[in-house]
């Protein structure tokens, strides 16, 4: 990156996670979590998404303002903000039911995409309904990162095929490091990305840069809830990329941010 000022566009999903058994909820979503952590790390973030006009949408927009995200391309639609109903079992979050609300019909205008392309990096994910715009964004010269999580193994295989050539930094979730994963990361980079990164939960992460594998362990933490671990890892990692760090240091920073996240109930620590 040659420009002095780095900026990031977070393009895609937002939702609230609701824990009926605990009478708790919080604002979240892949690009929301990513955007909040990236902003807190010091790189300005524009959030490009759509909330509902319900009370949860009001809370989401208030949170964006508190976190100082650029909301110039945030839309409000008639209907419910997306809701994910959750359970917490042995500190692991379990998805129960999903109500997509306005996320089911979210779309991005030409002006939204033009605005996204004006940033140094655009981040999106499997659930954001923005994957069809990656070819245009990537061809403009703007860096792209994408979280495939573990969805690419099943329902998201088509999205993987449609996008992988247009992604610079590809992130995946697996259960453990094994030969099949390493082969997959190598094949993935051969198709276009600069880097492919696999996260393994408590077993750390692994990156392939086209030449060597790089492994990073986790940072110690008092586990409260695993929500947001992957999103915060990616934010820490990509902040490192934009700051000119080497891959190993990017991974270490991702692990540090993720450790801070899993030590609280929500997707990011409360500000002091």
The CATH number of whichever domain residue 36 belongs to comes to: 3.40.1190.20
Which DSSP category does 72 fall into? T
Q: Domain residues for 134?
A: 8-262
**Given this model, what pLDDT does residue 245 score?**
97
**Given this model, what pLDDT does residue 2 score?**
40
pLDDT in tens, 229-241: 999 999 999 999 9
Residue entry with tokens 């977070």? 10
What pTM, to 2 d.p., does this model score?
0.94
167 in a structural domain: yes
In whole angstroms, give the CA distance from residue 246 to residue 249. 5
3 in a structural domain: no
Task: For the chain, list the strands marked E by DSSP.
Answer: 8-11, 15-19, 24-28, 45-48, 50-52, 75-77, 83-89, 92-99, 121-125, 143-149, 169-173, 195-199, 205-208, 213-216
pLDDT in tens, 68-104: 999 999 999 999 999 999 888 876 777 778 999 999 9
As beta bridge partners, residue 5 has: none
49: which 2 tokens? 């998404």
**Given this model, what pLDDT does residue 4 score?**
43
In whole angstroms, give the CA distance from residue 229 to residue 250. 15
**Given this model, what pLDDT does residue 5 score?**
64
Q: Binning pLDDT at 50, 70 and 90, where does residue 154 land? A: low
In whole angstroms, give the CA distance from residue 59 to residue 161. 36
58 in a structural domain: yes
Q: What's the structural domain count of the chain?
A: 1
Cα dihedral 254, 154, 19, 61 in deg (nearest 10): 60
Q: Phi and psi of 163, rounded to 5°? A: -110, -25
1 in a structural domain: no
141 in a structural domain: yes
pLDDT in tens, 232-269: 999 999 999 999 999 999 999 999 999 999 999 888 88
Give me the DSSP letters along 127-158. Answer: TSS-GGGHHHHHHTT-EEEEEEETGGGTTTHH
72 in a structural domain: yes
For residue 18, what are the CA distances in angstroms to 85, 105, 147, 237, 270? 5, 21, 23, 28, 18
Check: CB of residue 129 under 8 Å from CB of residue 12. yes
In whole angstroms, give the CA distance from residue 84 to residue 17. 5
Helical axes 229-242 vs 30-40, angle rounded to 10° = 50
218 in a structural domain: yes
201 in a structural domain: yes
pLDDT in tens, 182-218: 999 999 999 999 999 999 998 999 999 999 999 999 9
């Amino acid at each position: 990156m040659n420009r002095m000022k780095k900026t990031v566009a977070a393009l895609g999903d937002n939702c609230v996670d609701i824990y009926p058994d605990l009478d708790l909820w919080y604002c979240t979503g892949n690009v929301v979590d990513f955007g909040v952590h990236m902003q807190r790390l010091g790189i300005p973030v524009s959030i490009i998404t759509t909330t509902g006009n319900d009370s949860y949408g009001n809370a989401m927009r208030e949170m964006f303002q508190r976190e100082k995200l650029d909301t110039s391309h945030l839309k409000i639609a008639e209907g419910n903000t997306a809701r994910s109903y959750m359970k917490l079992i042995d500190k692991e979050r379990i998805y129960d039911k999903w109500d997509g609300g306005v996320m089911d019909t979210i779309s991005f205008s030409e002006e939204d995409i033009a605005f996204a392309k004006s940033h140094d990096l655009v981040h999106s994910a499997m659930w954001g309904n923005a994957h069809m715009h990656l070819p245009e964004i990537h061809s403009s010269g703007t860096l792209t990162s994408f979280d495939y999580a573990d969805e690419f193994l099943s329902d998201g295989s088509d999205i993987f095929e449609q996008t992988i050539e247009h992604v610079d930094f590809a992130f995946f979730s697996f259960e453990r490091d094994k030969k099949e994963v390493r082969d997959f990361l190598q094949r993935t980079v051969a198709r276009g990305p600069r880097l492919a990164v696999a996260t393994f939960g408590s077993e750390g992460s692994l990156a392939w840069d086209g030449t060597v594998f790089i492994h990073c362990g986790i940072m110690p933490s008092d586990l409260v809830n695993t929500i947001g671990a992957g999103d915060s890892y990616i934010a820490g990692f990509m902040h490192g990329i934009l700051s000119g760090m080497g891959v190993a240091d990017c991974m270490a920073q991702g692990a540090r941010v993720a450790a801070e996240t899993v030590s609280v109930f929500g997707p990011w620590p409360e500000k002091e």
